Amino acid sequence: MHQQGIKYILVKQQKKIMADNLHSHIWESYTACWSNPDEANRKELLSQLLTNDCTYTDPNLIAVGIDNLSNYMAQFQNGNAGAKFITTDFKVHHDQSLTHWNMVNSKGTILSKGASFGVYKDGRLCKITGFFWGA
């Protein structure tokens, strides 16, 4: 392979790594919002991470839009004080991610496990689908 072909491959790999890191950063920032009790701050963060018409689904609900998702996060916090999500595996390709996670209490005890599928559009999450099961 000639020099220019190798350079092309290296640049392409570097762009993929940068995109993967961006998706991971978006996902981890989104996940932190589930533990953020400050409603105004949470909505501000979500508006940077999600599209305005984002859709969140899990076995309990379908939430469309940032306000509805933020309200669901507040309900989650009321029922699970001190809980947060820890990513155990994150895979991404073609603006789609699959994340495995543990929900833990303030002492780090696993309360439940799950997986979430994310779809990204223009550098923001536009669709999130969550699945969960017992610890």
Reported as a single tens digit per residue, the pLDDT across 28-85 is 999 999 999 999 999 999 999 999 999 999 999 999 999 999 999 999 999 999 999 9
pTM of this prediction exceeds 0.95: no
Environment class of residue 42 by beta-carbon count within 10 Å: exposed (0-12), middle (13-18) or buried (19+)?
buried
117/19: higher pLDDT: 117
18/133: higher pLDDT: 133
- Tokens 């999600």 -> residue: 50
Residue 9 predicted with pLDDT over 70: no
Residue 1 predicted with pLDDT over 60: no
At residue 17, the pLDDT reads: 61
37/4: higher pLDDT: 37
The mean of the pLDDT values for the chain is 91
Domains (range + CATH), the chain = 3-134 (3.10.450.50)
Distance CA 67, CA 15 (A): 33
Q: At what angle do helices 39-49 and 66-79 cross, to 10 degrees?
A: 130
At residue 4, the pLDDT reads: 65
Classify residue 80 by its DSSP letter: S
